[in-house]
């Protein structure tokens, strides 16, 4: 009868076992100290300092870019300065050739109707006929008086009547006389203003202010310009009465000139 074989149950040497465990522990990753972590990142995500030659290339590129910006700015300033100088030279040449002059308006008369200051009504509806002379002293420039003009007459700060100038063309070296009718629609007068007007009429000295504004176009040779200027005038005048036969006794402080307008 065959004999049964039993496994070898020889005890292991404790020294051998402890030496193997120490060798394994020495090859293992050491434990990090308390409250510290080890993070492993892929190589392509690790920040790398560029080599010195790349840093020099970047600095050279930045310097070239700054130089280009400075050059572009200098060119732009030069172009703008040149354009400004050309405009100034063109304006000087135009002035020397054509010698432009401001048209001279003069107020020849103001006839007033509908100013009944003795009425019990608190409003008035006057009508003013203004006679004007316009002198164009330019030798080579004609003037177009366009739509959109405004003529107003004030007593103190109260607008008595208003209207517009006729639309017409005035040739060179000419004087144009015309009359324009201004109307006031239900003008309210305070009691103090009405009394002041009555006293002024009694003294035959009624102070008024006339304001005028008209858009202009010019004809230089055969060329008609666009509408870019306005003529404005403001005058203080005194009438002897407020009737159709009134006369201007004083005209003073007349200010007039060209001002930039729009189309």
Consecutive 10-residue averages of pLDDT for the chain (263 residues): 49 51 51 59 58 58 63 87 92 84 92 87 90 94 95 94 95 95 90 92 96 94 85 95 93 87 55
End-of-domain residue from the set 63, 83, 98: 98
Q: Are residues 67 and 166 in the same domain?
A: no
With contact defined as beta carbons under 8 Å apart, do 242 and 128 qualify? no
* pLDDT number for residue 50: 59
With contact defined as beta carbons under 8 Å apart, do 100 and 141 qualify? yes
Within 13 A of 221's CA, how many CA atoms are on the CB side?
Answer: 4
Least Cα distance to 142 among 219, 217, 81 occurs for 219
End-of-domain residue from the set 75, 98, 121: 98
Domain assignment of residue 77, yes or no: yes
Query: Is 202 strand, coil or helix?
Result: helix
* pLDDT number for residue 186: 86
Least Cα distance to 234 among 251, 214, 254 occurs for 254
* pLDDT number for residue 66: 61
* pLDDT number for residue 99: 85
With contact defined as beta carbons under 8 Å apart, do 130 and 210 qualify? yes
Domain assignment of residue 5, yes or no: no
End-of-domain residue from the set 33, 65, 98: 98
Residue 82 CB: number of other CB atoms within 10 A? Answer: 10
Domain assignment of residue 28, yes or no: no
* pLDDT number for residue 262: 53
Domain assignment of residue 59, yes or no: yes
Q: Are residues 56 and 140 in the same domain?
A: no
* pLDDT number for residue 24: 47
Q: Are residues 166 and 70 in the same domain?
A: no
Query: Is 90 strand, coil or helix?
Result: helix
Q: Are residues 246 and 124 in the same domain?
A: yes
Sign of CA dihedral 108, 113, 118, 124: negative
With contact defined as beta carbons under 8 Å apart, do 126 and 184 qualify? yes
* pLDDT number for residue 263: 45
Burial-class residue 114 by CB neighbours within 10 Å (0-12, 13-18, 19+): middle
Q: Are residues 56 and 158 in the same domain?
A: no
Q: Are residues 77 and 130 in the same domain?
A: no
Least Cα distance to 112 among 214, 190, 200, 192 occurs for 200
* pLDDT number for residue 2: 47
Domain that holds residue 57: 45-98
With contact defined as beta carbons under 8 Å apart, do 206 and 242 qualify? yes
Q: Are residues 254 and 132 in the same domain?
A: yes
* pLDDT number for residue 144: 95
Domain assignment of residue 250, yes or no: yes
DSSP 184: -
């Amino acid at each position: 009868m065959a004999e049964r074989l039993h496994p070898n149950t020889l005890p292991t040497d404790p020294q051998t076992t402890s030496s193997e465990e120490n060798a394994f522990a020495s090859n293992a990753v050491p434990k990090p100290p308390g409250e510290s972590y080890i993070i492993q990142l892929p190589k392509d995500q690790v920040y790398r300092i560029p080599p010195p030659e790349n840093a020099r290339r970047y600095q050279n590129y930045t310097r070239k870019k700054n130089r280009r910006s400075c050059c572009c700015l200098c060119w732009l300033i030069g172009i703008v300065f040149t354009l400004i100088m050309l405009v100034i030279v063109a304006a000087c040449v135009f002035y020397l050739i054509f010698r432009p002059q401001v048209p001279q308006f003069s107020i020849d008369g103001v006839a007033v109707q509908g100013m009944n200051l003795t009425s019990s009504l608190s409003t008035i509806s006057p009508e003013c006929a203004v006679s004007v002379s316009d002198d164009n002293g330019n030798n080579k420039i004609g003037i177009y008086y366009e739509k959109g003009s405004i003529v107003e007459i004030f007593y103190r700060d109260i607008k008595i009547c208003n209207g517009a100038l006729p639309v017409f063309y005035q040739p060179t070296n000419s004087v144009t006389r015309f009359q324009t009718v201004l109307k006031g629609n239900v003008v309210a007068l305070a009691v103090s203003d009405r009394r002041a007007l009555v006293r002024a009429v009694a003294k035959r000295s009624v102070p008024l202010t006339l304001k005028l504004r008209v858009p202009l176009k010019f004809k230089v040779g055969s060329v008609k310009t666009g509408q870019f200027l306005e003529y404005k005038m403001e005058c203080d005048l005194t009438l002897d009465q407020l009737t159709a036969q009134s006369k201007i006794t004083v005209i003073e402080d007349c200010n007039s000139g060209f001002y930039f307008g729009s189309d």
